[in-house]
Chains A and B, each alone.
Chain A
Amino acid sequence: MAATTEYAIECRKITKRFGSVVANDQIDLNVRYGEILALLGENGSGKTTLMNMLSGIYHPDSGSISIGGQEVTISSPADAMRLGIGMIHQHFKLVDVFSAMDNIVLGSQEKRLSPKVLRERVLGICQSVGLEIDPDKKIYDMSVSEKQTVEILKVLYRSARILILDEPTAVLTPQETEKLFAILRRMREQGCAIIIITHKLQEVLELSDRVTILWKGRSIDTVVTAESDQRKLTELMVGRPVSLQINRPEPENVSTVMRIESLFVNKPDGAPALGGISAEVRTGEILGVAGVAGSGQKELCEAIAGLVPVQSGQILFNGENIVGKTPAQIIDLGIHMGFVPEDRLGMGLVASMGMVDNMLLKSYRTSKGVCIDRKPARALAESLVKKLEIVTPGVDTPVRLMSGGNVQKVLLGREIESNPSVLVTAYPVRGLDINSSYVVYDLLNEQKKRGVAVVFVGEDLDVLLELSDRILVLCHGRITGVVDARTATKEQIGLLMTGADSQEVAS
């Protein structure tokens, strides 16, 4: 069958709405076989939505998709697979209790084969692109990069020729990222079409042949990577020229307010999450926390906030040990702690309640009597709306109906209004657009200037390096180093994230 076009995928005028939100607005995109296309755009620009339509998860409201020159309708992931499209989602789509092998063959239409034949087939694919895997290992025993390998194998096993990767490097160390890129380059040589979603400019420049930039749901430009640079791409991505610079005021009146001493914390299933860490948290400075996802960041934050049981160790707040105390008891000691958890709507806020009731969450106990007093909460909610320019139909509208940026403003605003002396924030800009992210950075800096000890758990090393004063690096529940953010480099932190000792890194 003669191809009428050289393109592997050609999308024309794709539009997709979610309720009243237009996620994709008349998007055009194309990619050739033997090419890597980077899809660049900030959070909420519609990258994932577009790719989900190619992989059959969503269905476009209008527009057309052609695969190899033939116009097609992709109404399910099975359709996408039959068309040779394989997608590796940001949140892996694996069945935890199955082995790697079972996950790889899952859902394929072929006849049942003997385990021996299957194994040979999988190992053959591994060899051809340079992957390594133990086919019998269960997913729940695997590291993040192993899981990603299984995802890639799943796609290759179905001999997909078009590969879509949604932010594949977000959970990888710089070294693992390099390995992945090598595999992708090999696949390109073998004639695959690859689309990679990312918002890390460095990776775009390093890997891709062309870049398509999305902005607020529209495809605004496609450029050849070799003819572009970081500044140009950034301008296209945010829609206006911006300075990459994040403001970093000099710390003042620095003194240690909280001291963590050989802290051990276990996960609910009994596996160790924190293996004896010690650190200092100081007033008037921002302490960045870096690490591959799941290195113990969550447990560290929750241990400080008094939410998880601590096996051993101490958290001394101005000399007072708060380990073993409940959040209520910590408040009773006169310690004001602000905590912006990673899961905003599942932990920091009550999704179905309005702003007023959410303001009460940590303070409802302080009023007298059996009844709840909503008056001060309403006043607080209204003042926050004005101060932080929160967009909401009303202070009683359930917060789940608000946009991600506004939800974060509600949560951060409430925590700041409680006048904390320590403010712990876990991934506070995740999922936020650039403007909202800068609002968050400004709020954190403001707190730092007021003398608050700010802890900032982040994932983007560039942001960590520009915002923090010191960066604490976690790996497998241990601290592998604490570096000065003004002098440290990304490579240095990357090595610490993989578990290299700080002395080795320095030398």
Chain B
Amino acid sequence: MSTQTGYMSREPLLRVVKRAEKPTRQIMLLRAEALVFALIAGGVFILLIGYNPFEIYGTILSGAFRSKMAVQATVKVMIPLLISSLGVTLAFKMKFWNIGAEGQIIAGAICASYFALYHSSWNHVLLVTVMFLAGIIGGGLWGLIPALFRVKWGTNETLFTLMLNYIALHVVNFLRDGPWKDPGSQGFPKIARFDKNAALDKLLGVQIGWVVALALAALILFYLRSTKHGYEISVVGESSDTARYAGMNVKKIVLRTMFLSGAVCGIAGMVQATGSDITLTNAVAGGVGFTAIIVAWLSRLNPVTIVIVSFLFSVLEKGSSVVQSSFGLSTDCADVLQAVILFFVLGCEFFIRYGFVVRKKGGAA
């Protein structure tokens, strides 16, 4: 035993320990701290590339609110983000990793655009209603495809929904280059601008989509909290064994919820194409589907919080475009900052249930 008794070990410098779960107020405080740290980290980066962080952050804020038009533009940015965040929330609540919001937005937009392009002479109210339904069905079906394969063969939905994003994108490119190509564009491939009759109306200077978005937030809050469907989603998300035990038809619930998740994202696409872009381009989703995932996660899948967070993110997006014009810094900085915020919030979740213990002086060995 002599070789072993001579062995000494030092206690590690930092050790992870599990703690009692922190009360809600402290958790909120922790997240607020994470946000502050994220902004500091972003500030350090801005400083490193030779700018004054206060100036940049200030420009973002003032850029989003400096005029009535700026506020309207901010709200316009928020519409698709809010709607698709609500959409992915439905799937995430069920622990179904729908990262295909991007594709579902596009699918909804494509379906709605068909009517905008080829039935623009219909009665306005009828046309808008039909486009709305087309958006729902397009996005819903695009969401249903991965769900079908998931319940039938257990196909990995994370990667499948992702591939469908790119497939949808190239469908738009195909339509743009061929069947839906604007004959009046002199060979440049693009889809024609929609007829005025097919464009969404405005309310308070912004396209009506913001009303749709807020209504959806209320509706989804109610759906998740107070309906049997919402209860089923929560149970399936927690454990499909428990759902089975409770006599739930798990497959049916997964299919239904994924249709709805896709459908809500489809509405986002319809609203963006017919309300903001007034045409269909391959940038109709433009990364919103991914940002929506960040928003949903930061909001802990709570629809009320989603409204707030998506508004703040829109401020960041809109403000960063002003930063671009006044400092020559790309709007990509908004994406970077959003990601950094989520990094910090993800990291801080750790401290809700765990903590570090530092080695006591001389306590080891």
Contact = CB atoms under 8 A, between A and B. Distances in A.
Instruction: Answer whether A and B touch in the complex at a CB cut-off of 8 Å.
Output: yes
Interface of A: 1, 3, 18-20, 59, 67-70, 72-75, 79, 82-84, 161, 305-307, 326-328, 331, 339, 341, 343, 346-353, 357, 360-362, 364-365, 370-372, 401
B153 interface: no
Nearest to B364: A73
B356 to A, nearest CB: 12
26 contacts: A18-B18, A19-B20, A67-B4, A68-B5, A69-B5, A70-B5, A72-B8, A73-B364, A82-B4, A82-B7, A305-B245, A328-B247, A346-B241, A346-B242, A347-B245, A348-B242, A350-B238, A351-B239, A352-B238, A353-B238, A357-B231, A360-B231, A370-B229, A371-B226, A371-B228, A372-B231
A71 to B, nearest CB: 9
B361 interface: no
Contact of B9 (A74, A161, A305, A371): A74
A351 B238 contact: yes
B10 interface: yes
A311 B10 CA distance: 57
B18 A19 contact: yes
Interface in B196-241: 226-231, 234-235, 238-239, 241
Given A59-B15, A73-B365, A68 B241 contact: no
Contact of B239 (A20, A67, A327, A350): A350
Given A1-B2, A3-B5, A364-B228, 8 more contacts: A1-B5, A72-B7, A75-B15, A82-B4, A326-B249, A351-B238, A364-B246, A370-B227
A290 to B, nearest CB: 24
Contacts of A75: 9-12, 15
Contacts of A349: 242
A161 B235 contact: no
A20 B20 contact: yes
A361 B236 CA distance: 11
Contacts, number: 109
Interface string B325-345: 000000000000000000000
B349 to A, nearest CB: 15
Instruction: Give the residue among A69, A73, A339, A346 with the most B Cβ atoms within 10 A.
Output: A73
Contacts of A1: 1-2, 5-6
B5 A350 contact: no
- List 6 tightest A-B contacts by C-beta distance, closest first: A327-B247, A19-B20, A328-B247, A347-B241, A1-B2, A361-B246
Nearest to A350: B238
A197 to B, nearest CB: 22
B228 A365 contact: yes
B7 A83 contact: yes
Contacts of B242: 346-350, 361
B9 A72 contact: yes
Nearest to A19: B20
A73 B11 contact: yes
A interface SS class: loop
B360 to A, nearest CB: 10
A386 B250 CA distance: 34
Interface string B236-277: 001101101111010000000000000000000000000000
B21 interface: yes
B300 interface: no
A151 B11 CA distance: 27
A370 B219 CA distance: 13
Find the residue from B227, B230, B231, B235 having the highest chain A CB count within 10 A.
B231
B170 interface: no
B66 interface: no
A253 B9 CA distance: 67
B50 to A, nearest CB: 45
A1 B20 CA distance: 44
Contacts of A83: 4, 7
B218 to A, nearest CB: 15
B357 to A, nearest CB: 8
Which of B15, B234, B235 has the most chain A CB atoms inside 10 A of its CB? Answer: B235
B119 interface: no
Interface string B1-32: 11011111111100100111100000000000
Interface string B280-317: 00000000000000000000000000000000000000
A69 B6 CA distance: 11
A37 to B, nearest CB: 18
B11 to A, nearest CB: 5
Nearest to B19: A19
B247 A370 contact: no
A456 B227 CA distance: 36
A326 B245 CA distance: 10
A487 to B, nearest CB: 36
A350 B239 CA distance: 7
Nearest to B245: A347
Given A346-B239, A370-B228, A84 B4 contact: yes
A451 to B, nearest CB: 25
A63 to B, nearest CB: 12
A413 B320 CA distance: 57
B228 A353 contact: no
Contacts of B246: 327, 361-362, 364
B21, B234, B246 pick with most chain A CB within 10 angstroms: B246
A327 B245 CA distance: 8
A355 to B, nearest CB: 15
Given A75-B11, A307-B245, A372 B5 contact: no
B365 to A, nearest CB: 6
A191 B4 CA distance: 16
B9 A73 contact: yes
Contacts of A401: 21
Nearest to B8: A72
B141 to A, nearest CB: 24
Contacts of A161: 1
Contacts of B20: 19-20
A349 B245 CA distance: 9
A350 B235 contact: yes
B10 A73 contact: yes
A82 B20 CA distance: 33
A401 B22 CA distance: 12
A497 B10 CA distance: 48
